């Protein structure tokens, strides 16, 4: 086809058929422009498909990160409830002894769980560069802000762990451990003795505050995640968009 058109153009030039020359040039130009537009449409279509798949992935992963935050936050909140209950029992020997008989009650005071999936999503998103697939600048900015908030929360956990380790020597003398014949592990706390030690009481009070700081930082992550999930739901025409509006 191309060689035929070129042959016609050479013949038109030899015959000085200016109208034929113009027609051939217009046909060639239109053909090039049409091919370019088809290629551009194909590229835009592929980019739109890639963006849609990426937004779907983010939508699912943010739901998963919320579920993980719920799980680790329940652990922090349980520890804070245990601390409040134990300190409220000071002066009540019978109640303190009862708490000491409750297996695992207070054993996790110095424990801080990480939200591993939630925390590592920041590094994965930024390192991959796939956030640039999001064509909406406002949505892309929100995703970056959430990733930064996740990173801040992860650093807060690491810093809080260091604080906990500094308090552990004051608590460790009151932990009691046992292993049953079937291999089951048991832990409990000697609360009647612990509450008489001002340094140990100070340590669990500081642990209470530290768990609170971690929960506050994660609450910011949760709020940003919920807001972004709603934005994504609307972008992807999910029923959740209508429910959240």
* pLDDT score recorded for residue 181: 85
Residue range of the domain that includes 185 = 2-244
Give the pair of three-digit tokens for residue 105. 């009650």
pLDDT band at 110 (very low <50, low <70, confident <90, very high): confident
| Terminal C-alpha separation, the chain | 57
- From the list 101, 107, 64, 59, the residue with the least C-alpha distance to 83 is 107
The pLDDT-based confidence of 6 (bands split at 50, 70, 90) is low
Q: Which residues pair with 189 in a beta bridge?
A: 175
Residue 109 has pLDDT above 70, yes or no: yes
- CA–CA distance, 188 with 191 (Å, rounded to integer): 9
**Average pLDDT rounded to a whole number, residues 87-116:** 90
Is the pLDDT at 213 greater than 90? The verdict is: yes
Among 29-38, 133-142, 144-153, 208-217, the range scoring the smallest mean pLDDT is 29-38
Quick one: pLDDT band at residue 2, thresholds 50, 70, 90?
A: very low
Predicted confidence band of residue 46 (pLDDT cuts 50, 70, 90): confident
Task: Inform me whether the pLDDT recorded for 26 exceeds 50.
Answer: yes
Nearest in space to 234 (alpha carbons), one of 146, 139, 147, 148: 139
Q: What is the pLDDT of residue 119?
A: 63
Q: Judge whether 217 and 134 are in contact, CB under 8 Å.
A: no
Record the pTM: 0.74
Proportion of the chain in helix, strand, coil states, percent, rounded to 5: 80, 5, 15
Cβ partners under 8 Å of residue 93, min gap 6: 192
Which DSSP string corresponds to 51-80? HHHHHHHHHHHHHHHHHHHHHHHHHHHHHH
Structural domain count, the chain: 1
């Amino acid at each position: 086809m191309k060689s035929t058109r070129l042959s016609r153009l050479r013949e038109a030039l030899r015959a000085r058929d200016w109208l034929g020359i113009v027609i051939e040039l217009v046909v060639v130009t239109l053909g090039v422009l049409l091919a370019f537009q088809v290629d551009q449409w194909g590229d835009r279509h592929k980019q739109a498909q890639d963006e849609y798949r990426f937004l779907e992935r983010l939508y699912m992963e943010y739901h998963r990160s919320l579920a993980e935050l719920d799980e680790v936050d329940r652990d922090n909140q349980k520890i804070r409830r245990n601390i409040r209950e134990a300190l409220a029992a000071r002066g009540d020997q019978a109640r303190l002894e009862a708490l000491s008989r409750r297996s695992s009650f207070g054993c996790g005071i110095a424990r801080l769980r990480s939200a591993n999936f939630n925390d590592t999503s920041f590094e994965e998103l930024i390192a991959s560069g796939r956030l640039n697939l999001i064509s909406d600048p406002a949505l892309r900015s929100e995703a970056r802000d959430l990733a930064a908030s996740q990173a801040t929360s992860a650093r807060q956990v690491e810093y809080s762990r260091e604080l906990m380790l500094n308090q552990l020597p004051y608590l460790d003398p009151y932990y009691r451990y046992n292993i049953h014949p079937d291999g089951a592990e048991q832990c409990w706390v000697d609360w009647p003795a612990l509450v008489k030690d001002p340094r140990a009481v100070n340590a669990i009070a500081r642990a209470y505050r530290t768990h609170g700081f971690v929960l506050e930082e994660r609450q910011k992550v949760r709020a940003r995640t919920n807001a972004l999930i709603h934005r994504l739901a609307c972008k992807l025409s999910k029923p959740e968009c209508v429910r959240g509006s």
